[in-house]
Structure formats: structure tokens, C-alpha cells
């Protein structure tokens, strides 16, 4: 909590700590050597910088708020949509440690040293199984569950203070928002749920040649590891590459809309993060 207070003071939010009655926290932050308020830029921009510096949970919280244009002013929405959860990659030795059981079994025999992607929750590497099959391995960042639990507790505490001491925010019910956000984030930490979802979508589209769902290697998956078939492709928003490959963009858009509506109207189960 002291770390949160220090970052708030660093970016010029002493007034918020005063309104939340966190004066002891404010005094501690002021006494830290070298702490200077950064009040450059807009207030929404500085809120985004606070979230960025505080890491995983606060970045995810900003991303969550960016979808709540029913409650958050547009200037904040614009800033929060800029939040990215790309972070420096975890060292390969730590990734290999997390994969030790699979590698010892002989099922996974090779992993690429450079990650395909490193985000706030997981890190993705290309790998190869003992039968030569190319796969993609997603590993949860080490120590993440404990850090997330601590930060969510702090976020809930701050939300409670906001409802008590800032009347203009109480109508947004920050405690309820944090509770909903927390449930979603905690479920993201359990990769078993993601594996189940992949299998379910695989069944939905088993007979549709236009939709490719990566095969999941369920016996190699766990709460913190997912192993799936490697599938090459183009990003949906990379228009020059799609045109160069001979795709009809209008047809792609039409089919993409059909897929989404089918999930909502027919399957009653939709993919919330198609990118």
C-alpha cells in the first residue's frame, strides 16, 4: 500500500490521498528520498502512468475501465485504451523450470529461447514435441498468483475508501466494479479454464472448414501451462498483408461478423478477446 501511495504522490495525486483520509501514507511517501511530483500532462494521462508503473493488476484494471464508457469520462477512456500489458520477458531458465515436469517426461523436447510474446500474465514460446510436432507453449509468470492476490486486496481497500469519502464516485459503485474485475482476473490465472474453452470452441467448429481452432494437448496442460498446436496466420487488422495474400477484406469482415453472431445466438458462448 505504501508503494501505491508513493507512485500516486510521484505523479501528483497527493489530493487523492488526502480525500481518501490516507494522510499517514501521504507523509510516508513525501519522506521518501528523491520523490518529486510529476504533474506534466493531463490528469487522465497521469492516471494511466500510475497504472502502468504499478504493474499487472492496475494495468488490467485500467483496461477493464476502458470498456466502461457508461461510467468513465471519454478523456480517461482514451488514455486507458493505451495501456498495454506487454512486459519484459521472464528469463528462459524460469520458463524451463515451470516446464520441468513435461520436459522430464520426454513429451516436450525443445523450446525456443526467444518468446513469441510476453504479456503481464503469460509468456509464449514455440516448442517441439517428441514426435516432431511444432507447438506453442504458454506459461504463467512465476509468483504471479501471490502478487495478484495482494494487489486485488489493496484495490478493494481503495475502492471501499472511495465509496466512503468521495461522493461523486460512490454512484459508480467502485466496490462492485472491483469485485467483478477480480473474479475475471483470478479466472485468467487458471490456464485450465482456457484449455477447456479451446476444446469447447474446437467442438463448435469441428465441421466448419473456414474456422481453425488450435488443437490442445490436454495431457500436457496444467493450471499454469497450456500446450497447443502451432498455427500460422495473419493478423485480422493487418490489411496490407491480407490484401497481398489475396483475401477479400469485405468478405473477411462479413464472415467475422457471422462467426461472432453465431457464437452469441447459436452457441450461447462467445470469444471475448478475438485479436
Q: Please identify every residue annotated as catalytic.
A: 273
Ramachandran assignment for 146, one of left (phi > 0), alpha (psi -120 to 50 degrees), beta (any other) = alpha
- What is the H or E stretch that residue 134 is in? strand 134-140
Cα pseudo-dihedral 231, 237, 238, 239, rounded to 10? 120
Contact between 119 and 87 (Cβ < 8 Å) = yes
Contact between 41 and 68 (Cβ < 8 Å) = no
Give the C-alpha separation, 152 to 124, whole Å: 25
Q: What is the DSSP string of 34-61?
A: T------S-HHHHHHHHHHHH-HHHHHH
- All 3 cell numbers of residue 251? 468478405
Amino acid at each position: 500500500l505504501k508503494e501505491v501511495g508513493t507512485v500516486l504522490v510521484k505523479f501528483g495525486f497527493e489530493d487523492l490521498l488526502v480525500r481518501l483520509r490516507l494522510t499517514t501514507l501521504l507523509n510516508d511517501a513525501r519522506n521518501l528520498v528523491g520523490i518529486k511530483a510529476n504533474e506534466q500532462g493531463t490528469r487522465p494521462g497521469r492516471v494511466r502512468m500510475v497504472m502502468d508503473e504499478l504493474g499487472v493488476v492496475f494495468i488490467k484494471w485500467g483496461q477493464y475501465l476502458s470498456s466502461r464508457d457508461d461510467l468513465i469520462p471519454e478523456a480517461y477512456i482514451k488514455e486507458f485504451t493505451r495501456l498495454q500489458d506487454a512486459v519484459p520477458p521472464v528469463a528462459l531458465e524460469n520458463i524451463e523450470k515451470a516446464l520441468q515436469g513435461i520436459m522430464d517426461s520426454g513429451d516436450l523436447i525443445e523450446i525456443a529461447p526467444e518468446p513469441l510474446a510476453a504479456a503481464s500474465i503469460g509468456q509464449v514460446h514455440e516448442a517441439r514435441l517428441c514426435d516432431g510436432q511444432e507447438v506453442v507453449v504458454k506459461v504463467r509468470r512465476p509468483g504471479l498468483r501471490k502478487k495478484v492476490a495482494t494487489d486485488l486486496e489493496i484495490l478493494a481497500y481503495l475502492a471501499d475508501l472511495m465509496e466512503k469519502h468521495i461522493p461523486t464516485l460512490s454512484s459508480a459503485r467502485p466496490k462492485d466494479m472491483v469485485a467483478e474485475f477480480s473474479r475475471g482476473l483470478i479466472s485468467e490465472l487458471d490456464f485450465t479454464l482456457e484449455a477447456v474453452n479451446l476444446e469447447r470452441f474446437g467442438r463448435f467448429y469441428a465441421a466448419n472448414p473456414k474456422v481453425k481452432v488450435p488443437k490442445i494437448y490436454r495431457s500436457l496442460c496444467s493450471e499454469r501451462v497450456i500446450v497447443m498446436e502451432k498455427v500460422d496466420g495473419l493478423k485480422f487488422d493487418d490489411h496490407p498483408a491480407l490484401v497481398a495474400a489475396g483475401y477479400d477484406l469485405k468478405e473477411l469482415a462479413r464472415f467475422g461478423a457471422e462467426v461472432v453472431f453465431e457464437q452469441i445466438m447459436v452457441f450461447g458462448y462467445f470469444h471475448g478477446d478475438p485479436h
